[in-house]
Chain A
Amino acid sequence: AQSVTQLDSQVPVFEEAPVELRCNYSSSVSVYLFWYVQYPNQGLQLLLKYLSGSTLVKGINGFEAEFNKSQTSFHLRKPSVHISDTAEYFCAVSEVTSGSRLTFGEGTQLTVNP
Chain B
Amino acid sequence: ETGVTQSPTHLIKTRGQQVTLRCSSQSGHNTVSWYQQALGQGPQFIFQYYREEENGRGNFPPRFSGLQFPNYSSELNVNALELDDSALYLCASSSGTSGSQETQYFGPGTRLLVL
Contact = CB atoms under 8 A, between A and B. Distances in A.
Interface of A: 4, 32, 36, 41-46, 49, 51, 90, 92, 94, 97-107
B41 A42 contact: no
Contacts of B55: 99
Given A46-B105, A104-B43, 13 more contacts: A42-B108, A45-B106, A51-B101, A94-B101, A100-B31, A100-B48, A100-B94, A100-B99, A101-B45, A102-B33, A102-B45, A103-B45, A106-B41
A45 B108 CA distance: 10
Contacts of B58: 101
Prevailing SS type, chain B contact patch: loop
Contact of B56 (A4, A51, A90, A99): A99
Interface string B45-64: 10010000001101000000
Contacts of B41: 106-107
Given A44-B43, A90-B43, A100 B104 contact: yes
B42 interface: yes
B2 interface: no
A49 B55 CA distance: 22
